[in-house]
Structure 1
Amino acid sequence: MSDVARAARLLRTAYETRTPVAPLRGNLLPVGDVDTAYRVQQEQVAQWEAAGRRRVGAKIGLTSSAVQRAFGVYQPDFGVLFADMAVPDGTEIDTGRLLQPRVEAEVAFVLGADLPFPQVTPADVIRATDYVLPAIEIVDSRIAGWDISIVDTVADNASAGLFVLGNQPRSLSDVDLRLAGMVLEHAGEPLSVGAGAACLGNPVHAVAWLAQTLAGTGTPLAAGDLVLSGALGPMVPVTAGATYEARISGMGSVRACFSPEETA
């Protein structure tokens, strides 16, 4: 069995058993080898799809310049979204489904047209977007203690966990995403603040990067795809029993509600 297959099996076992594993970098995967990390991700995705999980889109990570510097990389990363990751707004999330969850507020794009071009412009993204929604991504690392590098998170499907979407779609013509302010709060206390400009300068730019990258891999974004475009502010560790509400100016709000530990 190859190291790629071993890494994919370890991560899938961690996902299924809710038991984190040691970092992969420097062990099964070479330090800094992002291409090999994506091969691990692709192997897991193929296995999940064979098991019946339905792919619904993609998520973008590492969209903040500060986070990129911390990882020593200068481009975002991406992972795959599946239908069973979606949680309705305000519905209680079983905290026991997750290992070490954190939440972050994002803008979700729903596409109304394909983006198959090898070179995608922001104008292409604007034209292809059906609507946008406020979103909370629940990121969750299968690597113990969140001791991750770019290699670990890419292999681990970009630390994807669950996601919650708001229920009031907005046209891109109705909101200036670059200037849209965000606050993520619990019990009225702001825990994370930011704006669209924190996401590669504008979430539209992040989606353009993803569309171009995926077109280059032969798996382009298509009409109906959902894209989580990247965090607008710092992510926040989850406390069992807590409710987190994200408000994005011009877009409304969305809530992620977690069960108490004793009922998880």
Structure 2
Amino acid sequence: MMDITLSKWADQLYQAELTQQAISPIRDQLDMTSTVDTAYAIQNINTERALNQDRRLVGRKIGLTSVAVQKQLGVDSPDFGMLFADMAYGDGEQIPTEKLIQPKVEAEIALVIKHDLTQAKHSFADIISATDYALAAIEVVDSRIENWKISLIDTVADNASSAAFVLGSRPVKLENLDLVNCKMRMTRAGQLVSEGIGKACLANPLNAAVWLADEMVRCGRPLLAGDIILTGALGPMVVVHAGDEFVVEIDGFDPVTAVFSASTE
């Protein structure tokens, strides 16, 4: 497929984010020979655009790792997207709702790595050795596709529907965590809105991290020391409304809070 055609769709997604105006599904505009690699090529155009605008790449997110989330979106495989420094918000820092289109939140475990991951095939041991610490996290996902009517191709092209993220402030070493059996609770105004468990993320968040590390080498953008990995949702996504405040509690971590501005004006 010609680069000029891919650039057209990348431009549509870029403008949708700038104007907060969602577009029709990308899959409806692609021909029948298009693959997930086509969608990643579209994503990469906007990644390069961001880097050329001096946005700092600080990590990756893995999407569609929870069976519950896969069912919500009607897809059955993971994907990845890029995390930039300007997407990061502090624990309890207000996130401007007016910059988002149709946001949702999900609870995750983040890994911060201390060694480059450059092997063609990684193991659990590689990921454990390369992980400096873990943090509780909240990802803000936001589709630039109308009404979240996405296929795998749509969300991949759209940077895995990523918009922002909040990291907890107390780092925890992996040896102090049960990544498989840790329970997650997300509340809004004190009411439970989502719950899950570590194994909801590809049976173990480290499985997701191994998958991502291999994929990043395959596509020529390996994970490097200091990078953040959002390993994937531990439970169902929750729709965000202006003024919402979400608190996520994951066993072994301090709570982390995402606060959204009260007005979209």
Output the amino acid matched with 2:230. Answer: L
Aligned to 1:76: 78
Aligned to 2:192: 190
1:172 aligns with 2:174: yes
Question: For 2:51, what is the secondary structure of its paired residue?
Answer: helix
How far apart are residue 260 of structure 1 and its match?
1.0
Distance 1:260 1:88 in 2: 17
RMSD between aligned alpha carbons?
Answer: 1.6
Unaligned runs of 5+ in 2: none
Distance 1:108 1:226 in 2: 7
Aligned to 2:202: 200
Distance 1:72 1:205 in 2: 21
Distance 1:143 1:31 in 2: 21
Question: For 2:54, what is the secondary structure of its paired residue?
Answer: coil
Q: Percent identity?
A: 48
Distance 1:147 1:87, change over 3 A: same
1:1-264 matches, within 5 Å, as 2-28=4-30, 30=32, 33-68=35-70, 74-261=76-263, 264=265
Distance 2:191 2:95 in 1: 21
Q: Is the 8 A contact 2:69 2:233 kept in 1?
A: no
Question: For 1:42, what is the secondary structure of its paired residue?
Answer: helix
How far apart are residue 216 of structure 1 and its match?
1.4
TM-score of the aligned structures, taking structure 2 as reference length:
0.95
Distance 1:260 1:69 in 2: 30
Question: For 1:241, what is the secondary structure of its paired residue?
Answer: coil
Question: For 2:165, what is the secondary structure of its paired residue?
Answer: strand
How far apart are residue 68 of structure 1 and its match?
4.2
Q: Is the 8 A contact 2:69 2:235 kept in 1?
A: no
Q: How many residues align?
A: 263
How far apart are residue 26 of structure 1 and its match?
2.3
Question: For 2:27, what is the secondary structure of its paired residue?
Answer: coil
Distance 1:187 1:67, change over 3 A: closer
Q: Is the 8 A contact 1:31 1:151 kept in 2?
A: no
Question: For 1:11, what is the secondary structure of its paired residue?
Answer: helix
Distance 1:72 1:236 in 2: 16
Question: For 1:161, what is the secondary structure of its paired residue?
Answer: strand
Unaligned runs of 5+ in 1: none
Distance 1:73 1:204 in 2: 21
Distance 1:47 1:242 in 2: 32
How far apart are residue 65 of structure 1 and its match?
3.4
For residues 166-210 of structure 1, give each alpha carbon's deviation from its aligned partner in whole angstroms, at most 9, with x where no partner exists.
Answer: 000000000111111000101111100001100000111100110
Q: Is the 8 A contact 1:184 1:193 kept in 2?
A: yes
Distance 2:21 2:88 in 1: 22
